[in-house]
Amino acid sequence: MRKTVIAGNWKMNTDRSSGAELAAAVMHGAGSANLPEHADVVLCPPFVVIPIVANAVAGSRIRIGAQNVHDQPRGAFTGEISTGMLHSVGCTHVIVGHSERRLMFAESDYDVCRKANAVVGANLQPIICVGETIAEREQGRTLEVVRRQLRAALDGIFEFSIRTCIIAYEPIWAIGTGNTATPGQAQEVHAFIRSQLREMYGSAAAEDVSVIYGGSVTETNACDLFAQPDIDGGLVGGASLDASAFTEIIRAAI
Ligand code: 13P
């Protein structure tokens, strides 16, 4: 049975005090002690805020994720952070291949693949992001682009570890724009992602992988999106910075 996953990507927002406050408010609002076993709520603060947030949610069922990672375990990589470092501060999840990293920091499909493999190898769960630009959608190339990104990212990840991977479909035109994909548009791509997973790993494994949607998810549209059969939760940006909005999104998902 695949899990419902609701992840908050805080991007480059919050600091020690506002991060701790936000985490405490989400814990309180989500009734973290009573979260069902089939749901994972993951907070992804900036690196330096991770320890204080991990401390704030200690003992609850709320998980911590990072927004990026380097694929090597250690060495002369100024400014980078390894999987082992993330493990040591309590992370269980890592976002890889977010479109902001692909577009603004020139991460290639190959980089995303190396990171995804490093994360899986470190017994952390990657949240692997894929999604098309508006131009690609208008050219009718959405499924081709998503297929390429997905297959490239999962190269080297075998059937025995695919269940630890979470796939996030985030159409770039929907991120931070208020132009949420319609439930139908999102479901089409999610079903396609699952069909690709089926081809690569077989039906049983594909059924167990959580495929979540990101791009202007709000407390208003969450219910309709999460009601789709292949949408298993959300990767939430802006609305995850508002504890009451994020709490309502969690409620819509579980
Ligand atoms: P918004 O929810 O702000 O559109 O951001 C989505 C996102 O990029 C999450 O990773």
All residues at 6 or more sequence positions from 164 whose CB lies less than 8 Å from its CB, including other chains: 120, 123, 125, 126
Residue nearest (by alpha carbon) to ligand 1 atom 1: 237
Pick from 4-13, 27-36, 67-76, 114-123: least confident: 27-36
For residues 85 and 19, what is the distance between their CA atoms, to the nearest angstrom? 20
Instruction: Please give the domain boundaries of the chain with CATH numbers for all domains.
Output: 4-253 (3.20.20.70)
**Tokens 């997973």, residue located:** 197
All residues at 6 or more sequence positions from 138 whose CB lies less than 8 Å from its CB, including other chains: none
pLDDT at position 107 over 90: yes
pLDDT at position 116 over 90: yes
For residues 173 and 166, what is the distance between their CA atoms, to the nearest angstrom? 21
pLDDT the model gives residue 33: 67
pLDDT at position 148 over 80: yes
Q: Name residue 96's beta-bridge partners.
A: 128
The percent helix, strand, coil of the chain (3-state, each to 5) is: 50, 15, 35
Q: Is 190 a catalytic residue?
A: no
SS3 96: strand
Given 98, 107, 136, 190, which residue is catalytic? 98
Counts for the chain of helices (H) and strands (E), in that order: 12, 8
Tell me, in angstroms, the distance from the centre of ligand 1 to residue 76's CA. Answer: 32
- Rounded alpha-carbon distances, angstroms, from residue 51 to 7, 31, 47, 58, 65: 17, 21, 8, 10, 11
Candidates 170, 173, 212, 218: which one to mutate for ligand 1, based on the most atoms within 8 Å of Cβ? 170
For the chain, percent of residues with pLDDT exceeding 70 = 99
235 lines ligand 1 (CB under 6 A): yes
Nearest to 170 by CA among 7, 40, 50: 7
116 lines ligand 1 (CB under 6 A): no
Structure-block tokens of residue 233: 């939760």
pLDDT at position 247 over 70: yes
Given 170, 190, 219, 248, which residue is catalytic? 170
DSSP string, 52-71: HHHHHHTTSSEEEEES---S
pLDDT the model gives residue 1: 86
65 lines ligand 1 (CB under 6 A): no
237 lines ligand 1 (CB under 6 A): yes
Q: Work out the mean pLDDT of the chain and round it to a whole number.
A: 97
214 lines ligand 1 (CB under 6 A): yes
Q: Angle at Cα 64 formed by Cα 59 and Cα 68, nearest 5°? A: 165
pLDDT tens digits, 27-83: 999 877 678 899 999 999 999 999 999 999 998 999 999 999 999 999 999 999 999
Q: Is 38 a catalytic residue?
A: no
pLDDT at position 238 over 80: yes
Residue 76 DSSP one-character state: S
